[in-house]
Amino acid sequence: MEGDCLSCMKYLMFLFNFFIFLGGACLLGVGIWVIVDPTGFREIVAANPLLFTGAYIMLAMGAMLFLLGFLGCCGAIRENKCLLLFFFMFILLIFLAELSAAILAFIFRENLTREFFTKELKKHYLRNNDTDVFSSTWNSVMITFACCGVNGPEDFEAIPHLPYSSLEKVTPEACCQRELQSREGMFVNKEACLTGVERFQNRQGCYTVILNSFETYVYLAGALAIGVLAIELFAMIFAMCLFRGIQ
């Protein structure tokens, strides 16, 4: 009976580690896509230190889970105590790091409110000054998502226009409609847009547009994160039970 139980534990351990291996491969793939994606995210990520760091953390975590899933599978099938102990310690460290990140994200969630972004935009945005990282990032976001400001063009009423811009009054150039949503895309009617003709402007705020775009993915990512944590927890339990059962 004990041998059958150990054999069952070994194959369950292999199964859980196979899922960890797949999860690591997915994180690795997403991290690489965010960094090399040619549709605008690469520019946004490179311009924002927080996103830049987050993308590389995702890459590192994906690579680590990928490696540990592989080691866990090998340790389970070969019944190698050294590999199992190594696997357990690193999975424990990753589990604690992910749990800490989730707690910090919950604590600092107020930094992602509409009011916070509106305040930051009005304080730091310098319109078409692409030498400024904050302004360049916001322009890239508005062009990529075909949106304007946090709430709409009214966010820019208190922001002074550039002295060398003869047309731009309130709405920045990045809010003008384009045939293709990229910096290389041709304007539908730039002059009319900058002089205030609404039908040539993107009127929706970026907060609503981005929230709607990623709402499904946020819930999916949350469910996936909970699933990964549960799998890691069970993998640690099985690793320790298998470690103790191997003679």
- At a CB cut-off of 8 Å and minimum separation 6, what does 19 contact? 69, 231
So what's the pLDDT on residue 41? 55
| pLDDT at res. 166 | 47
Instruction: With CA atoms as reference, report the closest residue to 91 among 151, 3, 192, 16.
Output: 16
Residue 215: per-residue pLDDT: 72
SS3 82: helix
pLDDT digits (tens, 9 = 90+) for 104-126: 777 776 666 788 888 888 888 88
pLDDT, residue 163, reads: 52
- How do residues 34-43 score in pLDDT, each as one tens digit? 777 655 555 5
Task: Specify the pLDDT at position 132.
Answer: 79
Q: What is the pLDDT of residue 164?
A: 45
The pLDDT, as a whole number, for residue 135 is 85
Helix, strand, coil: what percent of the chain each, to 5? 75, 0, 25
| C-beta separation of 181 from 144 below 8 A | yes
**pLDDT tens digits, one per residue of 203-214:** 899 988 888 877
Q: Can you give the pTM of this predicted structure? A: 0.55
Residues of the chain with pLDDT under 70: 1-4, 37-54, 109-112, 158-170, 216-218, 247
Nearest-CA neighbor of 139 among 122, 126, 154? Answer: 126
